[in-house]
């Protein structure tokens, strides 16, 4: 399941610009190139989210869709070696956030009506702590 679509990309850039980034000729975007950029972005997202969450996330959080759009656009601009600073910064911010999620320092936002089954911590997660020092009857110094 793709985290974003060509229509989502078109909310950020005009159709003509998407066509210039993807098609070698013509005024229409090359759907295959667009899909490859989206798949590349989604694979990166999954690599980080898979450390903490069971995939796929259901329902898809808007936050993840936005990351996918930013990352896919960066990949399309990079394809032409013309990535504007803002696109590079958004890509780097997305990767930084995903690294924080993988490290357990940030969480993916879920809507209140989200399915409680989706977005759960991945199986095999465990928590450890130091041995107990104090109890009601003993104090270990």
Distance (Å, rounded) from C-alpha 105 to C-alpha 117?
Answer: 21
Q: How many domains does the chain have?
A: 1
Question: Of 27-36, 57-66, 89-98, 104-113, where does mean pLDDT reach its minimum?
Answer: 104-113
Q: What is the pTM of this model?
A: 0.77
pLDDT tens, 36-78? 999 999 999 999 999 999 898 889 999 999 999 999 999 999 9
Q: Would residue 92 count as lying in a domain? A: yes
Asked, for residue 44, whether it belongs to a domain, the answer is yes
Residue 39 domain-assigned (yes or no): yes
Q: How confident is the model at residue 111 (pLDDT cuts 50, 70, 90)?
A: very low
Predicted pLDDT at 125: 52
Residue 132 domain flag = no
DSSP 141: -
What's the mean pLDDT in 117-134? 56
Q: Give the residue numbers spanning the domain of 23.
A: 6-102
């Amino acid at each position: 399941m793709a985290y974003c679509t060509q229509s989502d990309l078109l909310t950020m850039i005009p159709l003509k610009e998407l066509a210039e980034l993807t098609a070698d000729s013509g005024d229409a975007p090359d759907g295959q190139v667009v899909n490859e950029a989206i798949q590349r972005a989604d694979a990166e997202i999954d690599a980080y989210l898979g450390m903490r969450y069971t995939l796929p996330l259901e329902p898809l959080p808007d936050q993840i869709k936005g990351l996918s759009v930013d990352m896919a656009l960066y990949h399309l601009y990079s394809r032409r070696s013309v990535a504007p600073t803002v696109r590079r910064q958004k890509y780097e911010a997305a990767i930084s956030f995903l690294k924080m999620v993988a490290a357990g320092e940030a969480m993916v936002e879920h809507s209140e009506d989200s399915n409680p089954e989706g977005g759960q911590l991945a199986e095999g997660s465990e928590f450890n702590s130091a041995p107990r020092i104090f109890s009601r009857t003993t104090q270990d110094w």
